[in-house]
Structure 1
Amino acid sequence: MKLFYRQIGSGGPNVFLLHGLYGNSFNWASIAQSLSNFYQVFSFDLRNHGHSPSSSFMDYFLMAEDICQTTEPLGLFPVHLVGHSLGGKLAMVFALSFPQWVKSLVVVDIAPVDYGKEALQEHLKILETMRNLPLSELKTRKEAEMLLLKTINNKTIVQFLLTNLEYQSERYGWRINLEGIRASIEKLNAFPDLHAYFPGRTLFIAGERSNYLEASSFHQLSFYFPKATVVKIRDAGHWVHFEKPKEFLEALIPFLKENSI
């Protein structure tokens, strides 16, 4: 599957940016702009997200193939690969599957683990709430926000989900394939059992207030990525690059420069 992507910058090494679940390439706009002074930056909409095609199913291997099909003809490899959350898991699977194509790897606030039943149930609740939103009856985005908040008691998450709500043909609709994501959510919540390791340099950037990258996952992390280092951004939650862009770039850019030689 060929993906929609945004490209910015005209020279230097290539950097691929991969968004998280329910996100899209625009989530990286500010970071991409900052990196474009030194790099050629590609931000992707993953399948079932944004402007990319929909499919009935998605897993990390299919999404890795999507990246290959989209970019291999352009002769961009090897690249610096940066992924947040779902995109971080995808970046890890890509690096483990195609290590020769990855110059360095940056994983943002996620670990190579199965996040278990509690996280799965939370995603199922979010997806069901989005599916049940009465799109044909909506008059305003504020109305949609209030309806979602009745079930999803987190305004930050609701506002993030609403970045997928668009007004077209005189009604609201989701610019995200909820059915395809719902059919795949167990695979996305987990991490494939890969008998491989990535020999290159890897940087894990975590939010200090987030619980997605905990000490209990470090053994698994070091097995797959023996040259990994972990940096925690102070007072940041799960959306590290959005909440603390300056501090995020202060960790990211030196790492990319060290591994661009």
Structure 2
Amino acid sequence: MKPATLSPDRLLPAHSVPPPWPGRQVRLDGMVSYVRDTPATRPDAEPALYVHGLGGSSQNWTDLAGLLADRLDGQAIDLPGFGRSEPGQRYTVPVFAQRVIRWLEHSDRGPVHLFGNSLGGAISVRVAALRPDLVRTLTLVSPALPFLDFRRSLQGRMLPLLAIPRAERLAAWQLTRVAPEVMAQQVMEACVADLSRICDQRRQEALEEIRVRYQAEHYAAAYVRTFRGLVHSFLRSYLPGSDSLWRLARSVQAPTLVVGGRRDRLVDVRVAPQTARAIPDSRLLMLDGVGHVAQLEVPRLVARAVVGLLTETGDARNRADLAG
């Protein structure tokens, strides 16, 4: 593990607040997934895929994907049951990872620069470990790798819900009791350390996303079952066997950037450094005063670290080509 390198801010595009990137429905293996495209602004841009976290969507990557469009030809996928993708049959980290792998195989864009936030980080670690041929670099933002002290997470309050039969119905009922505007504010407060960093446009888009969730009958079940699957993966990681996320992290070959916020309220703040220590070729960026979704809260800082990673690995590839 080594410190992340921040590229100069002047290398990024001028500040802007783009609308959500255009999306499309894609049927793959009998299921519809929703994918947003962030077109590259340079012909030599390399392919990238962005994977959101629990309760999130492809919109979580709007700003970061735009800042990197001169280097990366980006796609962001809605996981099954979230955003505008159809619900799945099962909601576990292995199942989600297999869906990402199938998308990469179907789109034939690999190897890609793979990005994951929170749950998407756990998924991306599994993809990078099991299919190194599909991953060029790996960027993890507050990855939800295993930790056992749920007092360090606001989501720890959901643990009793998992013991209730048909908890999905209770969650759906609770969802109907909270106005979308209140839910959007609660989500923001949980994920973002400094709400002043989120502009009015992004707040309005977050509210519209909440309204989409309210209209999807499957959303509450998808959320609860995904949370249950994530907790299960946490527990398995401390048992013998090859399926441990920590064991998988130690086998990742791709050059990796790990970004953590020191005011993360959803994932134990110790997880990001632990992840960077586990992955052999890693760089760590810990951000003071930043919460769980650094790509939303401080996208330019995250983009500078990504450009640093891309520059370093690109230079290394060039040196290898010259030597060969």
TM-score (normalised: structure 1) = 0.80
The CA distance in 2 between the partners of 1:78 and 1:130, in whole Å, is 39
Query: For 1:208-233, what per-residue CA distance to the aligned partner results, in whole angstroms no more than 9, with x for missing partners?
Result: 2226354477456533x111221112
**Contact preservation (8 Å) 1:9, 1:38:** no
Helix, strand or coil: the match of 2:85? coil
Query: For 1:162-194, what per-residue CA distance to the aligned partner results, in whole angstroms no more than 9, with x for missing partners?
Result: 5543379xxx52476221331232321344515
The CA distance in 1 between the partners of 2:210 and 2:274, in whole Å, is 39
1:199 is matched with 253
- Say what the alpha-carbon RMSD is for the aligned residues: 3.3
Identical-pair percentage: 21
**Contact preservation (8 Å) 2:263, 2:269:** no
Give 1:134 shift: 3.0
Match of 1:29 among 54, 62, 74: 62
Give 1:156 shift: 2.0
Alignment of 1:200-219 (within 5 A): 200-210=254-264, 212=267, 214-215=269-270, 218=273
Helix, strand or coil: the match of 2:311? helix
The CA distance in 1 between the partners of 2:219 and 2:85, in whole Å, is 10
1:239 is matched with 293
Helix, strand or coil: the match of 1:186? helix
**Contact preservation (8 Å) 1:210, 1:236:** yes
Distance 1:63-1:115 versus aligned 2 partners, 3 A rule: same
Question: Relative to structure 2, which stretch is displaced further, 243-252 or 123-132?
Answer: 123-132
2:240 is matched with none
Give 1:161 shift: 7.5
1:5 is matched with 35
Ranges in structure 1 where 5+ consecutive residues have no aligned partner? none
Match of 1:188 among 221, 227, 230: 230
The CA distance in 2 between the partners of 1:175 and 1:27, in whole Å, is 22
Match of 1:173 among 211, 215, 225: 215
1:46 is matched with 79
The CA distance in 1 between the partners of 2:244 and 2:77, in whole Å, is 25
Report the number of matched residues.
248
The CA distance in 2 between the partners of 1:216 and 1:8, in whole Å, is 30
Helix, strand or coil: the match of 1:122? helix
Helix, strand or coil: the match of 2:211? strand
1:98 is matched with 131
Helix, strand or coil: the match of 1:15? strand
The CA distance in 1 between the partners of 2:271 and 2:52, in whole Å, is 24
The CA distance in 1 between the partners of 2:188 and 2:71, in whole Å, is 35
**Contact preservation (8 Å) 2:52, 2:120:** yes
2:277 is matched with 222
Ranges in structure 2 where 5+ consecutive residues have no aligned partner? 1-30, 162-166, 192-202, 235-242, 318-324
Query: For 1:54-74, what per-residue CA distance to the aligned partner results, in whole angstroms no more than 9, with x for missing partners?
Result: 024211111111112223132
TM-score (normalised: structure 2) = 0.66
Match of 1:76 among 109, 113, 118: 109
Structure 2 residue identity aligned to 1:134: T
The CA distance in 1 between the partners of 2:271 and 2:297, in whole Å, is 25
Question: Relative to structure 2, which stretch is displaced further, 111-120 or 69-78?
Answer: 111-120
